[in-house]
Amino acid sequence: MANMCVVGLQWGDEGKGKIIDILARGFDVVARYQGGSNAGHTVVIGKDKFVLHLIPSGILHEGKTCVIGNGVAVDPVLLLQEIDELRQRGVRVADNLFVSDRAHVVMPYHKALDQLWDQARADGKKIGSTGRGIGPCYTDKMSRSGVRMADLYDPAVFHEKLELNLEQKNGILAGAQGQPLSLGTIQKEYLGYAERLKPHVCDTVELMAGFLRTGKRILFEGAQGSLLDVDFGTYPYVTSSTATACGVSPGLGVPPRHVGHILGVMKAYATRVGGGPFPTELTDRIGEDLRTRGGEFGATTGRPRRCGWFDAVAVRYAAMVNGVDTIALTKLDVLGGEKRIKVCVGYKIGGEVTRRFPANTALLDRVEPAYEEFEGWGEDLSGITRFSDLPKAAQSYVRSIEDVIGLRIEMVSVGKDRAQVIRL
């Protein structure tokens, strides 16, 4: 198939940005289909580091068209900031970036409510929201009260929707001793943002159909990870969108038959940010070492990520939901220095071991991992470019991961830079 979807198979932060950046050179279009500025894709090119929250990673390649689909929650403030920062660093952002006129807009009240709702949750029950307003924006979308990009270009419609929303949202904020938001101020600001974004906003459904009709190769970019998917993740400790490959069609208006090859991205260990069950979490020295060596701090919030051993049960489940064809394995180099490495191959529940990933989040929080152990290695992998040059223990670990998840690994990342990748 000419097209490909890149999707995370864990709790996000798998290194999708780097993989998309590597693959982008072989595609004509890179299209983002869900999530919002709560996601951060990091790309390292030599001494330059780029963190992209809304714009697809393909923007860093000349001649590529980037699309932000209708399934993305667009914060105009942050999108304009991202455009300005890229231009200041010499990256071209002009007629190579398109934003869906059907995409929902993150408004100031969404951010205020996001923080309010997470603060109201009891300790231990917090979702760990980024506070970027993405959840409340999707809530408005589903309750049919949201503001879409197209509305910003019809001042009368925008005024009416904003007035109705503020009547409700200001009431909620007032009840929590929050500051009411001004209709006039927001309207003026957002009409200004709309004017600046006007060259980029269009009917991306029609645009994508044209790309498909003319045989353009499309790389579909997902955000977050499959275990954060609102339907298939560790609910309620999830994001508010469809973070699996299932989100491509509704998020871009692309028929399912055009999605093509599904490439799953996963770390050689596991991490997650915020609350929720994490069966293989390490709260000891090993967990701290993985966090330090792997630079495991959120690209969006800077929060430290929880670290643990690779969870094959969770990844097999995620791969099944996505229909994954092949795998990109990232951060293999971070495991260097550990004498023994563990992989969770099953969950112990009530004295029995299961390979099934349970829907019951409370049950998942109580499972005991059933581990297999592997020999570690001490060598630095960052300069290795051929699989056969990896230490035997590292080769064995990669092949064992393939066996336990039942999928072929086609790419192994051994460092942050786009050049530090091994093709199998």
Q: Are strands 73-74 and 104-105 parallel, antiparallel or unpaired?
A: parallel
Cβ partners under 8 Å of residue 285, min gap 6: none
Instruction: Give residue-wise pLDDT tens across range 182-196.
Output: 999 999 999 999 999
Give pLDDT, residue 114.
86
- What the chain holds in terms of domains, given with CATH numbers, is 4-102+200-263 (3.40.440.10), 104-196 (1.10.300.10), 267-423 (3.90.170.10)
Q: Which of 81-90, 163-172, 298-307, 394-403 has the lowest mean pLDDT?
A: 298-307
pTM over 0.75: yes
Question: Residues 179-234: pLDDT tens digits?
Answer: 899 999 999 999 999 999 999 999 999 999 999 999 999 999 999 999 999 999 99
Per cent of the chain over pLDDT 90 is 84
User: Does the pLDDT at position 166 exceed 70?
Assistant: yes
∠ CA 82-86-89, nearest 5°, is: 145
Q: Strand pairing of 368-375 and 340-349? A: antiparallel
Output the pLDDT for position 182: 94
Structure token digits, residue 268: 């050689």
Return the minimum-mean-pLDDT range out of 37-41, 71-75, 375-379, 394-398: 37-41
Backbone angles phi, psi at 345, to 5 degrees: -110, -5
| 140-146 contact pairs (CB < 8 A, 24+) | 140/104, 140/110, 140/165, 141/73, 141/104, 146/104, 146/105
Residue (of 5, 68, 63, 78) closest to 32 by Cα position: 68
Question: Are 39 and 296 in contact, with CB atoms under 8 Å apart?
Answer: no
d(CA 254, CA 222): 14
List all residues 6 or more positions away from 278 whose beta carbon is below 8 Å from its beta carbon: 11, 270, 272, 306, 308
CA–CA separation, 136 and 145 (whole Å): 11
**What average pLDDT does range 135-144 have in this prediction?**
96
Lowest mean pLDDT among 36-45, 122-131, 142-151: 122-131
Q: How confident is the model at residue 125 (pLDDT cuts 50, 70, 90)?
A: low
pLDDT of residue 231: 97
pLDDT of residue 54: 95
Active-site annotation holds for 13: yes
Q: Write down the catalytic residue from 21, 28, 41, 333.
A: 41
Q: Name the catalytic one among 13, 114, 118, 333.
A: 13
pLDDT at 121: 59
